[in-house]
Amino acid sequence: MKEVKNPRRPMILYYLIILLVIVLFNWLVMPSFQQSKVQSVNYSTFMKYTQEKKISTVQVRTNDILFTLKGGSSDNGEKIVYKTGRMPDEGLTDRLYASGAQFKSDLQQTSTGTSLLVNILSFVIPLLLFIWFGRWLSKRMMDKAGGTNSMMFGMGKSNAKLYVQSTEGIHFADVAGEDEAKENLEEIVQYLHDPKKYTSIGATMPKGVLLVGPPGTGKTMLAKAVAGEANVPFFSISGSEFVEMFVGMGASKVRDLFKQAKEKAPCIVFIDEIDAIGKKRDNTMSTNDEREQTLNQLLTEMDGFDNNNGVMILAATNRPEILDPALLRPGRFDRRVPVELPDLKGREEILKVHARKVNMGNDVNFNTIARMASGASGAELANIVNEAALRAVRMGRKVVREEDMEESIEVVIAGYQRKNAILSAEEKKIVAYHEIGHAMVAALQNHSEPVQKITIVPRTSGALGYTMQVDEGQKNLLTKEELLNRIATLTGGRAAEETVFDSVTTGASNDIEQATKVARAMITRYGMSDEFDMVAMEQQTNQYLGGDTSLTCSPQTQKDIDTKVVALVREQHEKAIRLLKENRSKLDELAQYLYEKETITGEQFMEILNQPPKYRLDTNGAQVDEPQQPETETAQAEVQESEAQAPAAASGIADRR
């Protein structure tokens, strides 16, 4: 969609113009009002002017004398009034009369009145100019917005962006991975195209459609795709833009938005992040605030719509649980469309959509990349494709290869490689054993995700290394055994450190956090505890924003939960230590190989793991060399059969520290 914008001059230009007008007024116009000024002289000078008959008008007052001279004016044409003190002089009046002076009684009043008029005009005229300018500018801005509200500077006007159809408009074909959401919204498009098809049978379309889902899943893009398919005007505004400093401005914006929408009908109004104004109203005494007035106006406007006025309201939010029930009732937002994270097939389709804009090589397997990007949103997948294209340019290639896509996944998830991070030989060895510990515990258990890649190259996210693993298919359910194996795999790094170095490091902090989180969820939310059975001890909030949780049980029960979590993690930790001790030879061999190569693939890992061990440990912990691999045909056949049954490596992220 293409946004329609009118060119606007900077506001500073208008203020400079009015400032210039004020300066010119005081410089050119005001001097014409200043016709007189008072100048003090001594009494002898006054007597001299009297004898020389130069006095034109005179005013004799109690304490002083004001007079003007014949032809007396300054260079700029101002009339000069002279003032001198009053002296004891009995023949003064006769001498003044004899000199031809005219007696006046308003010289001081004329001077004072003129000065007062000048002061008033110098203040009032600029103020009137400013008020006139403000009204003119306000009217000009509102006329451009298509409204008639006369508030100063357009406050209370809706600043929704209006989009119209263009040659590069967004359509449903540009949105992948959300087939169910598109199916629900296609009905809206058909209604906007042919409303009689529905009204003839007595059906009415929903007045509002609420799109809910995690960030980056394409809620805004879906709304634009609806407008692109329907080929109707599309008003877009954020919920936070309704909230103003002055009470009543938000409600005025809502009224203006719906007025514009009715004038452009049929059209679509899209309100992004509607939770900014649609939160539940509380029970406090003072509830007449700006946000609540805006919500009340929105409720009124939506409920006041005619059934067939051609205006469709779309809204998006990440927090549907906090919206006001009056906003979600039938007649306002009738339909709720989930826009969830894409599954394996959806991720593959999204990658293909974004790959249309990039020169992709023939070796790129989108299914493999989609499996590696498990849990990624549409926005993250778009970023992965873009990062791959940037890497291809850095490498001097004109096409994107699969290695670029794989590296871009690691960049998005774990950050760029830290080329200036130099680990000491001892630290590098510890990290190698730590990551091999994760990989071996995962490989030695059933129901575990296969290993794809192991690396000890530091990343900008702070990870000194990580083990990549993901299931081959799309999983929607996890069994208790799979969750226990995941905890054991997370403790495998620390178990390797304890087994080899008889010490621990800070490198397992993220492993500990994840293992504790999984164990607590098993007990409090998944009902996988014999003692608590199927009783929920924890409540999840903000489902689409990280899923924060809070315990809903007594302090004593919380203590019991903590005890069970510790016992569960300790049990799997001991299991990981036992597995690594039983396969100490392979642990040393793989760690040494990773130490030398820094990065190994899942195929290389499994190949070494499936080979016969070079030594074993006796009861005293000493190394005992294993016999050489048998050379008989029967033994070779058994070895080949064992290798053929070895699990194949897959891809994904299992651990990141």
pLDDT band at 622 (very low <50, low <70, confident <90, very high): low
How big is the CA angle at 75 (ends 73 and 78), to the nearest 5 degrees?
A: 45
CB-neighbour burial class of residue 58 (10 A; exposed 0-12, middle 13-18, buried 19+): buried
By residue range, what is the domain housing residue 530?
A: 425-656
By C-alpha distance, which of 513, 514, 535 is closest to 524?
535
By C-alpha distance, which of 226, 251, 229 is closest to 315?
226
By C-alpha distance, which of 193, 192, 171, 191 is closest to 182?
171
Give the total number of structural domains in the chain: 5
Summarised one tens digit per residue, pLDDT across range 171-193 is 888 888 888 888 888 888 888 77
Verify that 321 and 185 share a domain, yes or no: yes
Verify that 46 and 19 share a domain, yes or no: no
pLDDT band at 511 (very low <50, low <70, confident <90, very high): very high
Verify that 468 and 592 share a domain, yes or no: yes
Verify that 299 and 403 share a domain, yes or no: no
Summarised one tens digit per residue, pLDDT across range 79-121 is 788 888 887 777 788 788 788 888 776 665 544 445 555 555 5
- Letter for the amino acid at 431? V
By C-alpha distance, which of 251, 257, 263 is closest to 235?
257
Among 338, 371, 396, residue at a domain's last position: 338
Q: How many CA atoms lie within 13 Å of 31's alpha carbon, on the beta-carbon side?
A: 9
Summarised one tens digit per residue, pLDDT across range 147-156 is 434 344 445 5
Among 291, 316, 338, residue at a domain's last position: 338
Verify that 394 and 468 share a domain, yes or no: no
Verify that 19 and 44 share a domain, yes or no: no
182 lies in some domain: yes
Question: How much of the chain exceeds pLDDT 70, in percent?
Answer: 73
Verify that 392 and 379 share a domain, yes or no: yes
Among 356, 387, 413, residue at a domain's last position: 413
418 lies in some domain: no
- Which residues, at least 6 apart from 291, have a Cβ–Cβ distance to it below 8 Å? 243, 250, 277, 279
Verify that 92 and 205 share a domain, yes or no: no
Please tell me the pTM assigned to this model: 0.66
pLDDT of 405 reads 92
Verify that 59 and 206 share a domain, yes or no: no
pLDDT band at 438 (very low <50, low <70, confident <90, very high): very high
Verify that 133 and 85 share a domain, yes or no: no
pLDDT of 256 reads 85
Q: What is the CATH number of the domain that holds 292?
A: 3.40.50.300
Taking the alpha carbons of 271, 274, 277, 281 in that order, is the dihedral positive or negative? positive
112 lies in some domain: no
Q: Is the peptide bond before 342 cis (omega within 30 degrees of 0)?
A: no
* Residues annotated as part of the active site: 435
State how far the Cα of 77 lies from the Cα of 86, in Å rounded to an integer: 28
- Range 248-266 average pLDDT: 82
- Letter for the amino acid at 506? T
Q: What is the CATH number of the domain that holds 94?
A: 3.30.720.210
pLDDT band at 5 (very low <50, low <70, confident <90, very high): very low
Verify that 292 and 350 share a domain, yes or no: no
Per-residue buried b or exposed e for 226-259, using 16+ beta carbons within 10 Å of the residue's own CB: bbbbbebbbbbbbbebbbbeeeebbbbbbbbbbe
- Letter for the amino acid at 409? I
